[in-house]
Amino acid sequence: MKVLITGIAGAHAQLVALRLVERGHEVLGIDVRPWQGAPRGVKIFQTDVRKRPAADVFRVHRPKVVIHMATVTHFDASREQRYRVNLRGTQAVFKHCNDFGVEEAVFVGRHTIYGAAADAPLYRNEDEPPLAVSTFPELADLVAADLYASRALWSCKNMRTVVLRIVYALGPSGRGTLASFLAGPRVPMALGFDPLFHVMHEDDAAKAIVLAAESKIAGVFNIAGPPPVPLSVLCQATGRTAVPIPEGMLPRVLGRFGLPHLPRGALTHLKHPVVVDNSAFGEATGFDYHWDEHATMGSFRDASILRERRGL
Amino acid sequence: MLRQATSPEVRERIEALDLPFNRWGLDPYGVSKAHLGLFLTSLGVLYKHYFRVRAHNIQRVPSSGPVMLISNHSGGLPVDAGMILASMFFDHDPPRLAHGMVEKFAQNWPFLSPWFSRVGQLPGLPEHAKRLLTDGRVLMAFPEGARGTGKLYRDRYQLVRFGTGFMRIALEVGIPIVPLAFIGGEEAIPTVYHAKALAKLFKAPYVPITPYLLPLPLPVHCEIHYGEPMQFSGSGNEPDDVIEGHVAKVKERIEQLIADGRSSRSRNLADTP
**CATH code at B235?**
3.40.1130
Concatenate the DSSP letters of all residues of B137-194 into one string: -EEEE-TTHHHHHT--GGGTT---PPPSHHHHHHHHHT--EEEEEEESHHHHS---EE
Mean pLDDT across chain A: 95
CATH of domain A2-174+199-226+275-290: 3.40.50.720
Q: What is the pLDDT of residues B217-259, one digit of tens each?
A: 889 999 999 999 999 999 999 999 999 999 999 999 999 999 9
pLDDT at position A74: 76
The better pLDDT of the pair B185, A260 is held by A260
- Whether the per-residue pLDDT at B271 is higher than 60: the answer is no
Q: Are B132 and A211 in contact (CB under 8 A)?
A: no
Could you give the number of structural domains in chain B?
1
Residues of chain A contacting residue B23, judged by C-beta atoms under 8 Å apart: 292, 294
Question: What pTM did the predictor assign?
Answer: 0.91
User: Would the CB atoms of B22 and A226 count as touching at under 8 Å?
Assistant: yes
Domain that holds residue B226: 8-271
Nearest chain B CA: its distance from A230 CA (Å): 7
- Predicted local confidence at residue B2, as pLDDT: 67
Least confident of A208-212, A308-312, B69-73, B177-181: A308-312
Query: How does the average pLDDT of chain B come out, rounded?
Result: 90
Q: Is residue B3 part of a domain?
A: no
Listed by start position, the domains of chain A span 2-174+199-226+275-290
Examine residue B1 and state whether it is found in any structural domain, yes or no: no
pLDDT in tens, A111-143: 999 999 999 999 999 999 999 999 999 999 999
Q: Cα A255 to chain center, whole Å?
A: 23
**Quick one: pLDDT at residue B76?**
67
Q: Give the pLDDT confidence of B69-83 residue by residue, as tens digits.
A: 999 987 667 789 999
pLDDT (tens digit per residue) in A39-73: 988 999 999 999 999 999 999 999 999 999 999 87
B26 part of contact set with chain A, CB < 8 Å? yes
In this predicted model, which residue has the larger pLDDT, B79 or A163? A163
Asked if A230 is an interface residue toward chain B (Cβ–Cβ < 8 A), one would say yes
Residue A122 in contact with partner chain B when CB distance is under 8 A: yes
pLDDT value for A281: 98
**Chain A CA closest to residue B112:** A192
Select from B1, B2, B23, B29 the residue whose CB has the most chain A CBs within 10 Å, as the one to mutate to test that interface.
B29
In a domain, B27, yes or no: yes
- The pLDDT tens digits for B10-58 are 999 999 999 999 999 999 999 999 999 999 999 999 999 999 999 999 9
Please indicate, yes or no, if residue B2 is contained in any of the structural domains.
no
Q: How far apart are the first and last CA of chain B?
A: 40
Report the gap between the CA of A188 and the closest CA in chain B (Å): 15
Residue B114 in contact with partner chain A when CB distance is under 8 A:
yes
pLDDT of residue B272: 54
Residue B131 to residue A123, Cβ atoms within 8 A = yes
Choose the closest CB to B110 out of A121, A193, A227: A193
- Read off the DSSP letter of residue A83: I
Q: How many residues does chain B have?
A: 273
Task: Give the integer Cα–Cα distance in Å for A64 and B32.
Answer: 47
**Neighbouring C-alpha atoms within 13 Å toward the C-beta of A6:** 34
Residue B272 to residue B264: CA distance in whole angstroms: 12
ipTM, 2 dp: 0.90
Nearest-10 crossing angle of helices A89-99, A140-155: 10
Of the candidates A121, A227, A294, which has its C-beta nearest B128's C-beta?
A: A121
Q: Which residues of B touch A228 (CB under 8 A)?
A: 28, 30
B123 CB neighbours in chain A (<8 A) are 118-119, 122
Confidence of residue B268 (pLDDT cuts 50, 70, 90): low
- Does a cis peptide bond (omega within 30 degrees of 0) precede residue A228? no
Is A52 exposed, middle or buried (CB count within 10 Å of its CB: 0-12, 13-18, 19+)? exposed
Quick: pLDDT tens for A187-208: 999 999 999 999 999 999 999 9
CA distance linking residue A270 with residue A259, whole number of Å: 14
Distance from CA of residue B41 to its chain's centroid? 17
Q: Is A294 on the interface with B (CB under 8 A)?
A: yes
Q: Is residue B210 part of a domain?
A: yes
Higher pLDDT, residue B201 or B269? B201
